[in-house]
Amino acid sequence: MAAPPKKAFPLRLDPVLYAAIERSAATDLRSVNAQVECLLREALARRGVKLADPVRAKRGRPPKED
């Protein structure tokens, strides 16, 4: 099952906030984009907003065909 395309949009952030997110992302071994998405999901969960689990891309090599 292919993951649906993600919604792209411009986001303007205070440089100090961006730097903090960048440091947090590096600590968690994530991209800044993935970190922002993770932080938004956590914030929504704390507010009681239920979201479906994200569809994750399969990692690794595809199985060999015989």
Per residue of the chain (66 residues), what is the pLDDT tens digit? 566 788 899 999 999 999 999 999 999 999 999 999 999 999 999 999 998 887 777 778 888 887
Q: How far apart are CA 12 and CA 30, in angstroms?
A: 20
* Domain enclosing residue 38, as ranges: 15-46
pLDDT of residue 58: 77
pTM for the whole structure: 0.73
The verdict on residue 1 lying in a domain is no
Look up residue 30 and give its two tokens: 């994530």
Locus of tokens 């009681």: 48
Q: How far apart are CA 44 and CA 38, in angstroms?
A: 10
The verdict on residue 33 lying in a domain is yes
The verdict on residue 65 lying in a domain is no
pLDDT of residue 3: 66
Look up residue 26 and give its two tokens: 């590096």
User: Domain tally for the chain?
Assistant: 1
What one-letter code names the amino acid at 56? R
The verdict on residue 32 lying in a domain is yes
pLDDT of residue 60: 85
6, 28, 47, 46: which is closest to 20 by C-alpha?
28
